[in-house]
Amino acid sequence: MFDRLDDTIIAVGTPSGHGMRGVVRASGSAAREVASILFAPHFPVDWNQIASPIRFHGRLRFDADMPSLPAELLVFPSPRSYTREDVVEFHTVAAPAVLSAMIDRTIEQLGESGRSCGCVRRAEPGEFTARAFFRGAMDLSQVEGVLALIRARSDAQLRAAQDWREGRLAADLKNIRQELIEMRSCVEASLDFADEPTNFISPEDLHRRIARISLQMRELLERANDSDYGQKLPRVMIVGPPNSGKSTLMNRLSGLNRAVCSPVPGTTRDLLTAVALWSPIEVELVDTAGVEVWGDPGEVSSRTFLERELPAADLICYVLDLQYPPLSRQVIPCLEPHSGRVLYVANKADLCPTENISQALLEFRKFCSASVQAISALRGDGIDALRRAILTRLTTHDQPLVEHRVVMNARHREALRCAVLALDQARARLANLDDTSCEAELVASDLRVALTALDELFGEVTTEDLLQRIFADFCIGK
Ligand SMILES: Nc1nc2c(ncn2[C@@H]2O[C@H](COP(=O)(O)OP(=O)(O)OP(=O)(O)O)[C@@H](O)[C@H]2O)c(=O)[nH]1
Ligand SMILES: [Mg+2]
């Protein structure tokens, strides 16, 4: 895809399946031709005269065997588009058959067999964003921001990806890069004019400036969140005695009928997961096998297993059974080291008179010094409040990402580390020197290494392999 930039590319820009709105997008020099083939506006339009972004209402042009559906067409003339090329976007009903027929019809008329160069072909994954990169609309770290945006699964990830896409990392490093360029020029000048009495920059001055920017880079590295942060969904483990209603609760919270529930204790034998699509974050719920609270020797293995799994939980939802008071006797000792991450619920409230519930909750608070919420997983009582409580506990953990607002992936870190190492080397050379020109050649080379590392970060210097790796993770249509 990197060597066929003259082609016009076309793809469906919305997820596959039926829905309210489907988008087909084309980018390249033949985009206006694509518009004229697929779209009949309500009023005549001279496609070549469009000079600024504009929206048209009309109908899709199809052969007699396809219905003529209403559609909107958005035209973004070069360079005022995502890719900086001419871009056209058709918005119509999200019927997969219609969207793919639009693409087939275009390729039939403007595809490779029809013309020798500048043909229209299907876009490869990430190719629209690749065009934006090659046409200078974004740097490589912003490209990765687009990818992070597509993959974001929580508000915090979305905000971080947005900062990234808008080039926040680039902004933080822009001044550093500029200063490196200036310093390199001074050092190279002292090299070129070594015989002159002029001292372009003193070793102390250079040492001080390098130390300052190296410190700034280190701080940035420390401040940055990993881009993998939050890719893993927060994990809520549902734990408790056998038959207390853990599987029923997991089904209720996820809205899925994933776990088998039955009155026979010991129904769940393994870990079972389901993703709850909540807002502002998605959560991974994990149903577990019941642990025998009164120490049945046969259940030792399930406790050992649980002890091993509990540290991986972001939150433990411990389900007590209101039918068997006192509730405090249902708590297992291996919860103790995780007490800060436990949320207690007392289930089967529908089976107990209100005064018994109050009594049981009071007793629990007294003996366990922890609060507990009464719920009925079967009937749904108290479930909204429980969902809110879970989200509150989890989103408090999510906070640091919002505060730091700098996100890096492994490639960014590697580039920055490489730059910092090169600067440290330069500083070591400069220590105890009277004249910059003595070591100028080597210092200039260190500064060049640091600069190349930063340029690689933004894609000023790239290899085909690196680009293939980044764009391979994209979906088609983006
Ligand atoms: N009345 C009532 N019954 C419930 C409630 N929650 C669960 N049950 C019932 O209790 C029984 C056990 O429920 P499960 O969800 O299978 O319990 P579990 O904790 O997953 O059980 P194990 O997997 O065996 O440890 C089933 O018959 C459920 O219908 C509830 O809130 N009220
Ligand atoms: Mg179960």
pLDDT per residue, tens digit, the chain (478 aa), is 566 778 999 999 887 777 778 899 999 999 999 999 999 999 999 999 999 999 999 999 877 666 778 999 999 999 999 999 999 999 998 888 888 889 988 998 888 765 555 689 998 888 888 888 888 888 877 887 777 777 676 666 677 677 767 777 777 788 888 888 888 888 877 766 555 555 667 778 888 999 999 988 888 887 666 555 555 678 899 999 999 999 999 999 988 888 888 888 878 888 888 888 887 777 889 999 888 776 655 556 667 777 888 888 889 999 999 999 899 889 888 888 888 889 999 999 999 999 999 999 999 998 888 889 999 999 999 999 999 999 888 876 544 433 445 567 778 888 888 999 999 988 888 876 666 566 778 888 899 999 888 888 777 666 676 677 677 667 776 7
Residue found by looking up tokens 């959560």 in the block: 283
Q: Copy the structure tokens of residue 292.
A: 């025998």
Helix H or strand E encompassing 344: strand 342-347
How far, in Å, CA of 396 to CA of 154, rounded? 13
- Is the domain spanning 235-404 CATH 3.40.50.720? The answer is no
Q: Quick one: CA torsion of 353, 356, 357, 363, rounded to 10 degrees?
A: 180
The CA distance from 432 to 211, in Å, is 15
CA of 299 to the centre of ligand 2 (A): 15
Q: Beta strands 19-27 and 8-12: pairing type?
A: antiparallel
- pTM > 0.85: yes or no: no
Residues with C-beta less than 6 Å from any ligand 1 atom: 242-248, 261-263, 265-268, 290, 347-348, 350-351, 376-378
> Atom 11 of ligand 1 has which residue's CA nearest to it?
263
Ion ligand 2: residues, CB within 5 A, are: 246-247, 267-268
Query: How big is the CA angle at 376 (ends 370 and 377), to the nearest 5 degrees?
Result: 100
Backbone region of residue 328 per phi and psi (left: phi > 0; alpha: psi in -120 to 50; beta: other values): alpha
Residue nearest to atom 7 of ligand 1 (CA): 245
Domain parsing of the chain, residue ranges:
8-139, 166-224+411-453, 235-404
| CATH tag, 8-139 | 3.30.1360.120
Q: What is the distance between the alpha carbons of residues 376 and 478, in angstroms, rounded to a whole number?
A: 45
Q: Which residues contact 329 (CB under 8 A, 6 or more apart)?
A: 293, 294
CA distance 389 to 27: 47
- Report d(CA 58, CA 55) in Å as an integer: 10
Q: How far is CA 170 from CA 100, 145, 176, 414, in A?
A: 38, 11, 10, 15
Measure 302 CA to ligand 2 centroid, in angstroms. 13
Please tell me what DSSP assigns to residue 152: -
Ligand 1, atom 27: closest residue by C-alpha:
263
Which residue's CA is the closest to the ligand 1 atom numbered 6? 245
**Domain 166-224+411-453 architecture:** Up-down Bundle (1.20)
What secondary structure letter does DSSP report for 233? Answer: P
